[in-house]
Structure 1
Amino acid sequence: MFVSLGSIIGSGWLFGALAAAQLAGPAAIVSWVIGMVMAMLIALTYAEVGTMFPHSGGIARYPHYSFGSFASFNLGWANWLGVAAAAPIEVLATVQYATNYLPWLERVEAGVPVLTVPGLAISIALMAVFVVINALGVRFFARINNILVWWKVAVIVVVIVALLATSFHTDHFTGYGGFAPTGMSGIFGAITGGGIAVAYGGFQQAISLAGESRRPQRDVPLTVIGSLLVAGVLYIALQIAFIGAIPTSALTSGGWTTAGTHFSTAGDAVAQFGPLAAVASALGMGWLATLLYADAIVSPSDTGMIYMGTTARMSYAMGRNANAPSGLAKLSRTGVPWVGLVLAFVVGCFFFLPFPGWQKLIGFQVSATLISFGSGPVVLLAMRKQLPGMNRPFRLRAARTIAFLALWVCNLTLYWTGWSVTWKIMAVVLIGFALFGLARWRTRGARTPVDLRYGWWILLWYAGITLISYLGSYPANSEHAGNLGVLNTATALVANALLAVLVLAVAVRIAPANALLGDWSQTTEEPEPVPHP
């Protein structure tokens, strides 16, 4: 529970309230509610399978059980990229807040903070700290994480109470463009562009660490549901407090679309580098601003450490699947996938180069993670076909309906990231196909089956996602984004629903009659278990 909650409460709470309000206005509250429900639907599809197979890196391994190498590698590749980008995102958040008192860490380019050369060096050093802590073993990490999560929750509660008690303007919810100044387009866009989807995506830690829990049959469903509910309440309350507390002077110049740019005499940089701290300073709460600057080191760092370990476990799972180098499955004496940990550090540092700022990396991370989450509803229904008599410690009711809704949610969230992000993530997917082919060529002496006949449904899914995005109207200024703008909000909802139905029907139909478990059900080689609290 604490690992998942610590993953959900990271940089999203430090920047999400402002970013979501700029996109949706006061209706950002609705965005957080919708985002929580959407994440819950996806998480529930994993809860059943996660208790059946409590294996480390499960999100990368379950597609392998149902559809074989082709599907599992390409879905695992997307998921690996998504979690590998998470630790750099948290580092960038820490550095961005620190720029308020160390201005040489970042500079503003085209209205967006980006790293300087010294800032890049500090960011790489923070990534190295994450590696060291994870390398000491999950027992050591769990003790640190429990303390940090209590700290993070306490700070959020203090911020919410302080903002509500000090300044709360009810007219902010109806004036300055109204409750939803950008309509449904802004509400949906805030889920991706406001960091909401990134924040709630932390539920996956319960699945990735299922093999290291003493009681996964109880812990997995309680964790995915409980962590989302707790975090959702905190995030929604924070958004309400932020909207009511923001200085009215920040809204008068242009309403919510430019909110947060005039918090103090220091100018735009204060709001850009630390919006919540800027609000606290503008309201005369210097003590709260100081607390926020301190938490900007603690909260993202804790989440970054969690995701660093998750990335290593995803590498471990792909190595165990035998469709990636077997060296990725090597464990250290402390039970840590150390090769995957080193790889996560190297690739994570490379993310700083094309995405040298928090805002620049968010869209990519959302898309990569959501592609991998699409395997949950598909595998759930495939397992019902393949293993009907297997014990299910947690059996999901209305599985077909929830699986459809979960895949529809994935499709919609990918669509809301906009064409400018979709075509880039699909280019990365093509790289994944090339890597799969290279891995197959290098292991031609000891090949496992490609299983294309079971996994080609992902080609249909990728093609559908790309086509709908190209025909769509996200972002709102689609005439400048390269897509056609043919689909409006309503028709896009229908198109993504039809795609979900088609993909589920095809995937379940072509899935093998029996799950491709191999020796997985007998394996005892897992990273060391998380200690009992």
Structure 2
Amino acid sequence: MGLKREISTSGILFASVSATIGSGWLFGSLYASKMAGPAAVLAWLIGAVAIIIIALCFSELSTLFPVPGGMSVFPAFMHGHSVSFLLGWISWIAFIVIIPIEVSAVIQYAANFVPFLFQDERLTWSGYVVAFFLTAVLLFINVTSAKIMSKTSFYITIWKILIPCLLIVLFFYKSHNFENLTIHGFAPNGLQGLFASLSIGGIILSYNGFQPGVALAGETKNPQKSIPIAIIGSMLICMVIYCLLQLAFILALPPESIADGWDKLSFTGEAGPFAGLAVIIGLAWFGIILYSDALISPFGSGIIFMAASARASYCMSKNGYLPKFFQNLSSNNRVPVQGLLMSFVISLLLFLFLENWKEMAAFYSAAICLCNAVIPVTLYTLRYHFPNLSRPFKIFSYKFVSMTAFYISSLMLFWCGWDIICKLSFVIVIGFVALGIYKVLAKEKFIFNLIGFTWLLFYMIAIGIVSYLGTYGNGIGLIPFGYDFVCIAIICLIAIRLALRFRLPNKKSEEFIQKVLHDLKHERIKNNTQEVA
């Protein structure tokens, strides 16, 4: 038996919204303001539009193939197991990184009242104990059942939407520092600062809550309807909330807090940005509520991303990338307990190697940008070579949308900077080494599909070179701002041509596709029979 399909449309929509409104709104407005100034409002809008374009590609693929942890399956149809493994590995790590990110957000806010939990920009030993306890609670909720996870997310999401909306109303009512919009100019750091805020200012992290909707596709009752609503709907809801939150944040800032420039923005209570501002503008009672919300909002996202990480490992195991015990489901609730336990263990290790929220968020952004770049290429090649597949959700002008999504994702990856891209490359190498060791120990053969991997190998090397020569993340600055846009565009055009040329034979791809579609049909028949019985 496979995973149960028992999550409704509203359940997966609320799961996506809950995953999106996490610690990003608690810290994102502060970091985006420091990098982009008042133009941060525009950055949130640009970020939402960009992610919606990318999400359209995910929507078509995840409704065509509504399988658990589908992100690691999609690339295998056209480019083989090497690309599929890389995407599965990176997305799995990215999902897991979110767990300590959200737990760290809870602890960092709590440190305003219990300072011995977080000192010198990192957790203390007491903080690690609390982190262990909170992560264990996330594990317990997910092990209980997918249905309970969905219901828990529903109620937490109601709270998570209510508090930011109430904050927006109260802040607009109490603060009117409109001069903040023009002090030092609308975009004090120019377009470079605006674009950098998308990748390392917390905006990508904040908007990528649609990813669990893809990972949970195999457990939705009606994926053709549920997934587009969840992915696109959650982005639209959160876009409005985030843009208004950013504007409310800027208008509430005391003018003296930015007297020395937006990059030196500082005020009392900055460790908990919105709560600190609430006290400053005379809403101390609401500041207490915000500190409470800082414990609930990230925790809700942690629940969803732990579930998504376990489903990703389940799917990778079915594809032969992880040991078979990751496919074991609990006898009562049919959830991948081994995957949840592994996510729990890796999360605890990440607390030791990534010191704080900001460092974790930077790595996550790079990882998820690479995943977002691969999916549009998969969609492009699949539509180009298999145009007649029955698609429940079909995007318009797939060539334009796919290329645009690929270019946007590539720019966002580039904006993460040379330092972060180096770390991501190291994690990729570790992944392939781990896969090789597993296959040797299990005495199993792994077909590398070097031909299908050609386009992605070129893409990663080229992005790395341009990043090193660029101006972001300690690049040497040989390629000035503006010219890097052209370089990334050329890389994308070459990569897409390579992806169309170097792929699996059509016959092999078709066999793989038909097998997955047949398995999905068989599962639907089995589930319907069980419901009737």
Any runs of at least 4 consecutive aligned residues in structure 1 with deviations exceeding 6 A, and if so which?
525-529
Q: Report the CA distance shift for 1:443/1:70 in structure 2 as closer, same or farther (over 3 A).
A: farther
Aligned match for 2:453, one of 446, 452, 455:
455
Q: Is 1:55–1:526's contact at 8 Å kept on the other side of the alignment?
A: no
Instruction: Give the Cα separation in 1 of the matches to 2:311 and 2:388.
Output: 29
Unaligned runs of 5+ in 1: 264-269, 476-480
Aligned-residue offset at 1:220: 1.3
* Equivalent residue number for residue 519 of structure 2: 523
Contact 1:408/1:497 (CA < 8 Å) preserved in 2?
yes
- Seen in structure 2, the aligned counterparts of structure 1 residues 517 and 324 have a Cα distance that, compared at 3 Å, is farther
Q: Which residue of 1 aligns with 2:55?
A: 43
Equivalence for 2:267 = 262
**Residue matched to 2:465:** 467
Alignment-mate amino acid for residue 31 of structure 1: A
Q: CA deviation at 1:65?
A: 2.4
Q: Does 1:402 align with 2:397?
A: no
Tell me the CA shift for residue 286 of structure 1.
1.0
Match of 2:282 in 1: 284
Determine the structure 2 residue equivalent to 1:64: 76
Matching residue within 149, 152, 159 for 2:157: 149
Give the corresponding residue for 1:137. Answer: 145
SS in 1 for 2:116: coil
Kept in 1, the 8 Å contact 2:383–2:398? The answer is no
Matching residue within 302, 309, 312 for 1:311: 309
Contact 2:454 2:498 in 1 (8 A): no
The one-letter code sitting in structure 1 at the alignment partner of 2:71 is: I
List runs of 5+ in structure 2 lacking aligned partners: 1-12, 528-533
Within 5 Å, which residues of 2 pair with 1:402-421? 402-421=401-420
For residue 448 of structure 1, report the CA deviation from its aligned partner: 5.1
Verify the 8 A CA contact 1:114 1:356 in the aligned structure 2. Answer: yes
Amino acid at match of 1:205: P
Structure 2: distance between partners of 1:526 and 1:463: 41
Matched residue type, 2:114: L
Q: Which amino acid aligns with 1:522?
A: H
Determine whether 1:388 maps to 2:377.
Answer: no
CA contact (8 A) 2:44 2:243 kept: yes
Given candidates 163, 170, 176, the residue that maps to 1:168 is: 176
Q: Which residue of 1 aligns with 2:135?
A: 127
Write the mapping of 1:67-466 to structure 2, written as runs, cut at 5 A: 67-108=79-120, 113-175=121-183, 177-252=184-259, 254-259=260-265, 261-263=266-268, 270-272=269-271, 274-333=272-331, 334-444=333-443, 446-447=444-445, 449-466=447-464
Amino acid at match of 2:133: A
% identical aligned pairs: 33
Shift of 1:518: 6.9
- In structure 1, what residue type is equivalent to 2:55? A
Distance 1:133 1:165 in 2: 38
Q: Partners of 2:355 and 2:476 in 1: how far apart?
A: 29
Q: C-alpha deviations, 1:498-524, integer Å up to 9, x for none?
A: 111111111122222142337422336
CA contact (8 A) 2:14 2:153 kept: yes
Q: Does the 8 A contact of 1:211 with 1:526 survive in 2?
A: no
How far did 1:338 drift?
Answer: 0.9
**Is 1:71–1:456's contact at 8 Å kept on the other side of the alignment?**
no
Q: In 1, distance between residues paired with 2:410 and 2:68? A: 26
- Structure 1 residue 329 displacement after superposition: 1.6
Contact kept, 8 Å, 2:210 with 2:234, in 1: the verdict is yes
Q: CA deviation at 1:489?
A: 2.2
Measured in 1, the distance between the counterparts of 2:516 and 2:446 equals 15
Query: Counterpart amino acid of 2:74?
Result: Y
Q: What is the number of equivalent residue pairs in this alignment?
A: 508
Answer yes or no: is the 8 Å Cα contact 2:80–2:503 preserved in 1.
Answer: no
Cα distance in 2, alignment partners of residues 362 and 26 from structure 1 = 22
Deviations 1:35-67 (A, max 9, x none): 111111111111111111111101111112222
Deviations 1:101-132 (A, max 9, x none): 11111013xxxx21111001101111110000
Q: Give TM-score scaled by structure 2 length.
A: 0.92
Deviation readout 1:52-92 (Å, 9 max, x if unpaired): 11111011111122222111111211111111100100000
Q: Does the 8 Å CA contact 1:471/1:486 hold for their aligned counterparts? A: yes
Kindly provide the amino acid, as one letter, of the partner of residue 367 in structure 2: A
Q: Under a length normalisation based on structure 1, what TM-score does the superposition of the two structures give?
A: 0.92
Distance in 2, Cα, partners of 1:130 & 1:238: 27
3-state secondary structure, aligned to 2:267: coil
**How far is the alpha carbon of 1:491 from its aligned partner?**
0.8
